[in-house]
Amino acid sequence: ASRRRGVVVDDLARARLPPSPRALPVIGHLHHLAGALPHRAMRDLARRHGPLMLLRLGALPVVVASSADAAREVMKTRDLHFATRSMTQTLRHAFLEGAEGIIFAPYGDAWRQVRRICTLELLSARRVQSFRNVREEEAGRLLRGVASAATLAKVVNLSEMVAAYAADSAVRAIIGNRLKDRDAFLALLERSVKLFARMSLPDLYPSSRLAMFLSRMPGRMKRQREELVGFMDAIVRDHEENKVTGDANKEDLLDVLLRIQREGDLQDVLGTGSETAATTLQWIMAELMRNPRVMQKAQDEVRHVLAGQHKVTEDDLGKLQYIHLVIKEALRFHPPAPLLFPRECRSTCQVLGFDVPKGTMVLVNAWAISRDPEYWDMPEEFLPAWFDNSTIDFKGTDFEYTPFGAGRRMCPGMAFALVNVELVLALVLKR
């Protein structure tokens, strides 16, 4: 069999492939995605072509799952077939071989080892609990920042402040201290997210040397990698120099990572830990401002439950039921990773009765599924109370609602993210 980016080509002639829209020569289906956000354009295409579609982005074959049944097959029934990540040509320049971090690590022993450490040690409920003082301190700092900004100006940029809080809180839990150069870190992170989210010419035409030659992306990815590695090296050096030796209870997440020598994972956990919680908080604040009744109800709950309490701690969060529903609804309405993180088919298999060839990139359009009227009443409205009468949860068993993914590659940072979001939301609303 001849191979093109790992897809076994001679099998394709016999395969029963998922339906596709009309393609154009050379560019394939790229024109269908022009001018819209990919998850929106893909949702519109899926309405016409079905819950499992095959797109060709340039020469890159991509299967998109857009229903709960399709998502269940990809992330549960056939999870093992899709348990590796898709590595585009430019992404390859972002990592050194064998140092892909956890998010992009290929399925195998190295990923399994670091994943086990992540779930059992780094991001376990006990570990997350142990950083509650850090979160409470950082949330207090955020509130003081908002208060002093509000006395100086009429407009407070809460998005920026929330991003700084999420970064400080994650970074302090992970490396024990605030970053000296937090703003540079946030700028680097923002650039990384933009670079990683973009498809470049070599990604679309993986076997074309000309595409690689013409593109500036591999060079930019390489420089980005060098900058990130430099940043991580400085963090590790700083950490080693300032370490108080001999106190095992003072071990932070970086100590755990250094024990297993995984700087790539440090980059992933720092980046994802900061970025996703900030995005969630920013969307929640935007929706509360757009929906004054929801805002009122959320504030009433916080002020009623926490009445007379000068200090709010994480012990109080369990009592805030409506706030919890607001977070659930925000993750439905605006999942921070609308297409989850791309998977790759490890061996040809069937999904919804169609063949998905080995090597195909597979996307789950979680955003489209969690707004599909087939599963949700009034899906285009922000209605937290809907979850009050529903058992649907984001823990990876309800495939109409998977903001954290599901299966073997499901997000291990869920507990870490949720406490960060809940605490700040409660405090900001109380004030």
Q: Which residues bind to ligand HEM, rule: CB under 6 A?
A: 75, 102-103, 115, 118, 123, 268-269, 272-273, 276-277, 280, 336-337, 340-341, 403-407, 409-413, 416-417
Q: How far is the CB of 148 from ligand HEM (least distance, A)?
A: 28
**Identity of the residue, 59 or 426, whose beta carbon is nearer to ligand HEM in the bound complex:** 426
Give the residue with the Cβ less far from ligand HEM, 212 or 361: 361
Helix or strand or coil: residue 361?
A: strand
Query: Which one, 288 or 417, has the nearer CB to ligand HEM?
Result: 417
Question: Smallest distance, Å, CB 364 to ligand HEM?
Answer: 7
Q: Which is nearer to ligand HEM, 54 or 330 (CB)?
A: 330
Angle between helices 263-290 and 321-333 (to 10 degrees): 100
Q: Cβ 191 to ligand HEM, closest distance in Å? A: 19
Residue numbers in the known binding site for heme are 411
3-state SS of 18-68 is CCCCCCECCCECHHHHCCCCHHHHHHHHHHHHCCEEEEEECCEEEEEECCH
Tell me how far apart the alpha carbons of residues 124 and 115 are, in angstroms, rounded to a whole number: 11
Secondary element (H or E) of residue 302 = helix 292-305
Residue in this structure with the two tokens 């020469």, named with its chain if needed: 59
* 366 touches 338 (CB < 8 A): yes
Please enumerate, by residue number, every residue annotated as part of a binding site: 411
Q: Which is nearer to ligand HEM, 58 or 384 (CB)?
A: 384
What is the nearest approach in angstroms of ligand HEM to the Cβ of residue 269? Answer: 5
| Cα angle for residues 217, 81, 356 (degrees, 5° grid) | 75
In the complex, least distance from residue 222 CB atom to ligand HEM, rounded to whole angstroms: 23
342: left (phi > 0), else alpha (psi -120 to 50), else beta? beta
Considering the complex, state which of residue 52 and residue 339 has its C-beta at the smaller distance from ligand HEM. 339
Closest CA to 302 of 422, 420, 421: 422
Shortest distance, CB of residue 274 to ligand HEM, whole angstroms? Answer: 8
Tokens (6 digits) for 160: 């920026």
